[in-house]
Structure 1
Amino acid sequence: MKIKPVQLLALVLFGIGGGCWLVAETPAAPAVASTQSVDGKVIFQTVCAQCHGSAGEGKPELKSPSIAGMPSWYVNTQFANLREGRRGHDAADPQSFMMAAVAKALQPEQIKAVVAHVEQMPMKVPVGKDREMANTNPQEGMRLFQERCMECHRYNASGEMAFGSPPLIGRQGWYLEEQLKKFKAGKRGAVKNDVNGAKMVQMTTLFIEDEQMLRDVVAYIMTLNPESKEQQQIIEGSPFESAGR
């Protein structure tokens, strides 16, 4: 019997017996519905919103990041990494593992459509627990950011297509912290041909000495997020944002 991609996805996520076998401490992800649509909005609401939220705001209980407004060049690269095994190959990283299954289940034209839709979604500014970083020193984080991160991610963390560096604003603090830990531990970016991931592995390994330093730099990045809708509109209309489209 030939198994369809959407059936394979269900097996990967929930097992033949219907019980999710992702890492025990990670909350079980909701069942991922399938669709034959090539409408980006329909695909997002059917497949992506269950984990990333209907507005792309992310869900802390699932450890899923905010993706609203992410530039298409970056999202396309991540889909390629997931489909080709540079990300999501390790079951010990359940979120990326699940995303790899989703990426492989979608058809190329569906990926193109949903990526375009994600880019057009208004960026969600992290607030509350998504933004707060307790017991940190953002001023110390600023020093590391300006010395090691700013060249690629730009002074305002808006990202740069030329370097393959995504915008860091709009992402939750806990998510950025977790990704830096994964790079530092070699759980992300260590696979052959992940050029930009390798840069992050090198940076975190050589220049982030301990967890306090890691959290301090994330705390500083959180201060770069806009405080108001007016500031957000300025960032959304910036040359950095338009260059990625």
Structure 2
Amino acid sequence: MNTCKSLLAFVMTAIIGGTVMHGADPVAAVPPVIAATKATDGRVIFETVCAQCHGTAGEGKPELKSPSIAGMPSWYVNTQFANLREGRRGHDAADPQSFMMAAIAKALEPEQIKAVVAHVEQMPMKVPVGKDREMANTNPQEGMRLFQERCMECHRYNASGEMAFGSPPLIGRQGWYLEEQLKKFKSGKRGAVKNDVNGAKMVQMTTLFIEDEQMLRDVVAYIMTLNPESKESPFESAGQGAH
């Protein structure tokens, strides 16, 4: 517990002083430079605080294990900021990416969060390509069966998400990121804290219905096939809104 508190204090000092660290080892990793800001414009806040880890276009950075966030609906991003600020996510130093995001969320003022969330929602979704999309040694057809049986009801047939269920779009996220999040739900690193209702659903689903890592990777491989081939927004092509 003291280690956790000390690391949180270190991270907060780093944010205020101009840097924060991401990676498998938050102490040893080479940090990107993230400046403290009093800006209230969403674009400026994103460029100052978020782009160092999530990329200038919100495309994410595999070397930092940071996901693509461009085009994420505001209702979902707001929920995640609340989870991070209120301790339902990012409470465990063994999960360094979420741990650092919690520190950043707590360092931003509510009006800053509102502004940057609105900016993120307006950014064009980045379709994963190359290593962000490829899933070696997988069977997407097997993954489709699990997706249709267990995931589709909440995340929709095309993985575009559903606000009514608190289920985010899965398209637009890198395959390696989705794989890592499913593992975190399955291990209890994510979604196991009291009052994280939607997280608890994912813990239950991964625990009861994803029997092994092969099955987990197969379902991610199928989700990757639901991404559009072009830069056209899947919400536009399906005639849907982003909720």
Amino acid paired to 2:235 = I
Normalization by structure 1: what TM-score? Answer: 0.89
- 1:160-202: CA deviations, max 9, x gaps? 0000000000000000000000000000000000000000000
Counterpart contact for 2:14–2:20, Cα < 8 Å: no
Corresponding pairs, count:
233
What is aligned with 1:95?
A: 97
Give the TM-score, by structure 2 length.
0.90
2:68 maps to which of 59, 66, 73: 66
Root mean square deviation, CA, Å: 2.3
One of 145, 150, 153 as aligned partner of 1:151:
153
- Alpha-carbon separation, structure 2, partners of 1:234 and 1:24: 36
Matching residue within 154, 160, 168 for 2:162: 160
2:85–2:102: 8 Å Cα contact kept in structure 1? yes
Corresponding position: 1:241 with 2:232: no
The correspondence of residues 37-48 of structure 1 with structure 2, limited to 5 A, is 37-48=39-50
Q: Secondary structure at the match of 2:233?
A: helix
Cα distance, 1:22 vs structure 2:
6.6
* 8 Å CA contact retained: 2:132, 2:176: yes
Task: Give distance in 2, aligned partners of 1:130 and 1:144.
Answer: 22
Query: Match of 1:215?
Result: 217
Residues of 1 paired with 2:20 and 2:39: CA distance?
Answer: 28
Percent sequence identity is: 82
Matched residue type, 1:76 = N
Distance 1:147 1:121, change over 3 A: same
Q: Is the 8 A contact 1:28 1:62 kept in 2?
A: no
Structure 2 CA distance, aligned partners of 1:105 and 1:228?
37
Do the aligned partners of residues 73 and 14 (structure 1) sit closer, same or farther apart at CA in structure 2, a change above 3 Å counting? closer
1:17-42 CA distance string (max 9 Å, x none): x9969743884331321111110000
Q: CA deviation at 1:225?
A: 0.1
Q: Which structure 1 residue ranges, 5 or more long, are not aligned? A: 1-6
Query: In the alignment, does 2:224 pair up with 1:227?
Result: no
